[in-house]
Structure 1
Amino acid sequence: MTGNQFRGPVNLLIFDLSYNYLGLGRADELKFITSLTNCSNLNELSIQRNHFAGPLPNSIANLSTHLYFLAIGENQISGSIPSQIGNLINLNALGIYSTFITGFIPTSIGMLQNLQRLYLGKNSLSGKIPYNIGNITQLTALDLEYNNLQGSIPLSLANCTKLLALSLSRNNLRGTIPKQIIGLSSLSIALYLSLNFFTGSLPSEVGNLKILEQLDVSKNKLSGEIPGTLANCKSMRELYMQGNAFRGDISSVFTTLTSIEFLDLSYNNFSGKIPKYLEGFKFLQYLNLSFNNFEGEVPKQGVFGNASAISVVGNDNLCGELFKATDGFSSANLIGAGSYGSVYKGILGRIENVVAVKVLNP
């Protein structure tokens, strides 16, 4: 731009350094943010996916109130989120994810009432989720996964009636899953609650998730039977319930979930027969029913015809083609094991065809 005759002040609106290799991992590399506080009309600041290190300066809360996009994730940034982050009242998207940020989520975040996307996942945040996060009623996406957050899910999140995706997985959250949250009918993309310490049953309000595609409540301490209202969730493509203490007969629970692609019910206390109607689920690619109390014959058609797509190990009362052929997947028939699963020798039918049966590692 040299050699021109430009006139007037320089007005910086967008400062974008994202997706580069900037930064040397030094402690003072974010000082330049302080100088940007003089840019009174700055709209966007993005330094995500670089090699910047050092503490996040408190001056970031003094950036232009015109700022609507702030993304600093996927760096080696440390420190805490400035307590005055609520000053940035016009933020539409805030991304501070995959860093070394610690401390609490500041309560001032509830002042960001224009915020639609909030990504604070994959940090080391602790403390409770601020109750006034429910003041951000324009939220469409909230990601707090992979932190050390404690306490319960704030009921105020029920005010966020535009939420499309909510991820609280891999924290230390406890208590029951609030019916007001799992009943948010706006959720259409994903609801991730796995790897916490939730107890109690799955609320019947789960049936409000009629347009939800992905639900993950795996590896908690949930119990009881699956509510029949789950049948309303006809858009469900992925459902993960493994690693809980769910019980009961599922013979009529999933009949309407014909769009399902991935279904994992392993490591629970389900009983009864494996539903034969699952044979007709043409989109079903992965089915894990292992380590339950299922009994009777294993269906043979559909997904059951693909040994690499289904696991039924750990159900001692099952009978069927592959289960009998491998003597109940006994260790005596184990040929080998790797990181992805185990291979068993099986003898099929009266003519005693010898086959190798691979079982995915659940």
Structure 2
Amino acid sequence: MGSILHKVDTLPESFIDAQPEQLADLLGGPTLVHLQGRRERPLFVSVLLHGNETTGLLAVQALLQRYYDRELPRTLSLFIGNVDAARDGLRRLAGQPDYNRVWPGSECQDTPEKRMMSEVFDIMRERRPFASVDVHNNTGINPHYACINRVDHRYVQLASLFSRTLVYFTRPKGVQSLAFSETCPAVTVECGKVGQAAGEQHALEFLDACLHLNALPDQPVADHDVDVFHTVAIVRVPRSFSFGFGDVSADINFIEDLDHLNFRELPAGSTLAYLNDVTSLPLEASDEQGNEVAARYFTMKDGLLQTARPLMPSMFTLDERVIRQDCLGYLMERYPLPAQ
């Protein structure tokens, strides 16, 4: 069976101002392109792993416009991911796996998409990338932040170029940055909601800065220059429960501004939802080892779903499709950086 990956050395002239929904026809499918620059070792950038997260694409288009008639400071290897979902403005199509859960190390079953990500990874490993950047949006209210999967000074240095707010995680498996963290400094940058010019500009300037780096310093970033949080659990809503936001008929009636809790340190006893005839804890939470730990973080009291201990959410979302396809959000704790 043939690969679904398109491998090219140039992009069509019209790529620079193509709309996300036009890319499937323009490129023919997921595409890996290598654009030669002054420094040989490439910066690897992935965009549109989720078809409705368009900030990365717009930032790359602006970057290529910026260098339209001059040499890139460093070779750029660009992977343009789920163009079929982008045509419909969706994270992924029904029947597709999540493009950011099938990279090497994934626990997902074998699919053409999983084989494609292995192919991309193998090609890039041979090219010895200088660094890897995966650009994303999120649906809740979050600051712009960067994720790392190894607490290594070079990785922290790279991430801190984007934001002082850093998140360290090792699950879910199969994400792009986790795979590439085995080969080079790798980061996922979360650029806020889709359609915000500030996110597009932030991603553009970060990518341009990465292209100009000669090396990533192997010295510690000062503690006071970054806030590092460790993702300790992924929170999901079991399919057996209905839920809504301000929906009094739902089993779980989440507070309407749930996403405003992101990156806020919540005390124990903070109310997250009102419950209707719910007799068992209506959330699931898995830790980094995959253990079920919801009872550690949540409790039911007088018909309310509350926090059982101080915690900090991230990426809590009001998007019901994202909650069903992926998760409600994540829980974090502060994480001290190693001094040396």
TM bracket, shorter-chain basis: under 0.3
TM-score, normalised via structure 2 length: 0.27
Higher relative contact order (CA 8 A, sep 6+): 2
Structure 1 or 2, whichever has the larger Rg, is 1
TM-score, normalised via structure 1 length: 0.26
Higher helix share: 2
